[in-house]
């Protein structure tokens, strides 16, 4: 159910997202034959533009999906979409900007040769915000029992594709148990990530997060935290294998994603973690906010 206005741009045509857009023969719809990226703004500036673009290109390469637009052309289209969104919603705050690219449409069949040409769809809406109450309380997670993260040897979780069924079903299962989000394990029983976020823990004043080899999306938020934000907040950060048996020894847990930055987790299946003012998670979140502010100031050319 749609409760707010979402602006769409289908191959350059601006329209409300509630209106039809692609054909039923679109391969993104039929087979998940698509890739996507999500940017958000800070201070009206598109954050981590290059990093997300590079990941989009990597996903396109993995799917042998030709990108028809250049980086500059995509930026022009993102801006047109944001401008039209602001006509409909003049007082919008920070924005969520999604770029979905599909292989196009054609006769029914898996052969990529049946596809006509790639389609792009841009979606713009407010950047979703957790309530202050939830942010203070922290999220409740539950470990998925019936499904594991798809292994990197099949549909590699490092590719940001239009096929999220595995994560969607894991989330459904966790929500059924009353949790806010899910912890997904790989086939070795190691922690991978949550449904649309990377996961981190704090133990003995050190930050730890599963390595890319666990089979996860290489999140930009995670990368920025490992790449310097943790250090700026005064923490060492490591990529390490984490197993659920270690949860009771962890002091804190948090999720990382573009839309959430960092969100504290208060429990996983009844195992409690510290939340609140004096936590490492809070210091990391503040350091991330500083880095995002500095990025926005340094990149006026990315204002949308
Ligand atoms: N999700 N893991 C998964 C499976 C994700 O889908 C995402 C992002 C992340 C975090 O990556 P990043 O920090 O680059 O946003 C990790 C986006 C935000 C989404 O689907 O809305």
Per-residue pLDDT for the chain (304 aa), expressed as one digit of tens each?
Answer: 788 999 999 999 999 999 999 999 999 999 999 999 999 999 999 999 999 999 999 999 999 999 999 999 999 999 999 999 999 999 889 999 999 999 999 999 999 999 999 999 999 999 999 999 999 999 999 999 999 999 999 999 999 999 999 999 999 999 999 999 999 999 999 999 999 999 999 999 999 999 999 999 999 999 999 999 999 999 999 999 999 999 999 999 999 999 999 999 999 999 999 999 999 999 999 999 999 999 999 999 999 9
Of 126, 159, 194, which residue sits at a domain end?
Answer: 126
Atom 19 in ligand 1: residue holding the nearest Cα: 196
Cα 256 to averaged position of ligand 1 atoms, centre (Å) = 8
Whether residue 302 lies inside any domain: the answer is no
Q: Do residues 93 and 203 both lie within one domain?
A: no
Q: What is the pLDDT of residue 112?
A: 98
Hey, what are 2's tokens? 């749609």
Contact 127, 259 (CB under 8 A): yes
Hey, what are 174's tokens? 């966790």
Q: What is the pLDDT of residue 2?
A: 82
Whether residue 300 lies inside any domain: the answer is no
Shortest-distance atom of ligand 1 to CA 157? 4
Cα 39 to averaged position of ligand 1 atoms, centre (Å) = 10
Q: Do residues 17 and 81 both lie within one domain?
A: yes
Q: CA 153, 154, 157, 160: dihedral to nearest 10 degrees?
A: 130
Q: Do residues 72 and 186 both lie within one domain?
A: no
17 three-state secondary structure: coil
Cα 160 to averaged position of ligand 1 atoms, centre (Å) = 8
Shortest-distance atom of ligand 1 to CA 220? 14
Q: Do residues 80 and 168 both lie within one domain?
A: no
Residue with structure tokens 């990025």?
295
Domain count, the chain: 2
How many whole angstroms separate alpha carbon 262 and alpha carbon 304?
Answer: 23
Atom 11 in ligand 1: residue holding the nearest Cα: 219
Between the alpha carbon of residue 226 and those of residues 79, 187, 232, 246, the distances in Å are 30, 25, 10, 21
Whether residue 255 lies inside any domain: the answer is yes
Domain containing 142 — which CATH number?
3.20.10.10
Whether residue 52 lies inside any domain: the answer is yes
Q: Do residues 140 and 117 both lie within one domain?
A: no
Q: Do residues 149 and 258 both lie within one domain?
A: yes
Shortest-distance atom of ligand 1 to CA 216? 2
Cα 114 to averaged position of ligand 1 atoms, centre (Å) = 30
Q: Which of 99, 160, 258, 291 to mutate to test the pocket of ligand 1 (most atoms within 8 A of CB)?
A: 258
Contact 35, 118 (CB under 8 A): no
Residues with CB under 6 A from ligand 1: 38, 167, 193, 196-198, 217, 219-222, 256-259
Whether residue 54 lies inside any domain: the answer is yes
Q: What is the pLDDT of residue 3?
A: 85
Q: Do residues 121 and 62 both lie within one domain?
A: yes
Atom 6 in ligand 1: residue holding the nearest Cα: 196
Domain containing residue 239? 132-295
Of 100, 126, 152, which residue sits at a domain end?
Answer: 126
How many whole angstroms separate alpha carbon 202 and alpha carbon 182?
Answer: 18
Q: What is the pLDDT of residue 259?
A: 97
Cα 54 to averaged position of ligand 1 atoms, centre (Å) = 14
73-79: Cβ within 8 A, 24+ apart: 74/99, 74/120, 75/46, 75/49, 75/302, 77/9, 77/12, 77/120, 77/122, 78/39, 78/46, 78/122, 78/304, 79/304
Hey, what are 298's tokens? 């340094």
- Cβ-based burial of 112 (10 A; exposed 0-12, middle 13-18, buried ≥19): middle
Of 85, 106, 126, which residue sits at a domain end?
Answer: 126
Q: Do residues 109 and 200 both lie within one domain?
A: no
């Amino acid at each position: 159910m749609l409760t707010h206005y979402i602006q769409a741009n289908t191959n350059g045509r601006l329209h409300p997202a509630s209106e039809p857009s692609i054909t039923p023969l679109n391969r993104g719809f039929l087979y998940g034959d698509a890739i996507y990226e999500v940017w958000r703004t800070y201070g009206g500036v598109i954050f981590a533009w290059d990093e997300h673009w590079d990941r989009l290109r990597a996903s396109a390469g993995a799917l042998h999906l030709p990108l028809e637009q250049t980086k500059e052309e995509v930026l022009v289209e993102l801006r047109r979409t944001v401008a039209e969104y602001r006509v409909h919603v003049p007082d919008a705050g920070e924005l969520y900007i999604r770029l979905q690219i599909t292989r196009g449409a054609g006769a029914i069949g898996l052969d990529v040769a049946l596809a006509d040409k790639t389609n792009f769809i841009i979606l713009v809406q407010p950047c979703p915000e957790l309530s202050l109450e939830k942010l203070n309380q922290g999220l409740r997670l539950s470990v998925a029992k019936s499904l594991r993260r798809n292994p990197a040897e099949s549909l590699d979780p490092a590719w940001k594709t239009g096929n999220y069924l595995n994560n969607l079903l894991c989330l459904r299962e966790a929500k059924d148990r009353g949790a806010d989000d899910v912890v997904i394990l790989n086939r070795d029983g190691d922690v991978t990530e949550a449904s649309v976020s990377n996961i981190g823990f704090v133990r003995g004043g050190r930050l730890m997060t599963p390595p890319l080899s666990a089979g996860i999306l290489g999140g930009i938020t995670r990368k920025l935290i490992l790449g310097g934000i943790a250090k700026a907040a005064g923490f060492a950060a490591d990529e390490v294998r984490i197993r659920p048996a270690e949860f009771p020894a962890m002091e804190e847990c948090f999720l990382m994603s573009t839309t959430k930055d960092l969100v504290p987790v208060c429990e996983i299946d009844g195992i409690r973690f510290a939340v609140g003012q004096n936590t490492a998670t809070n210091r990391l979140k503040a350091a991330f906010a500083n880095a995002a502010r500095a990025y926005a100031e340094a990149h006026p050319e990315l204002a949308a």
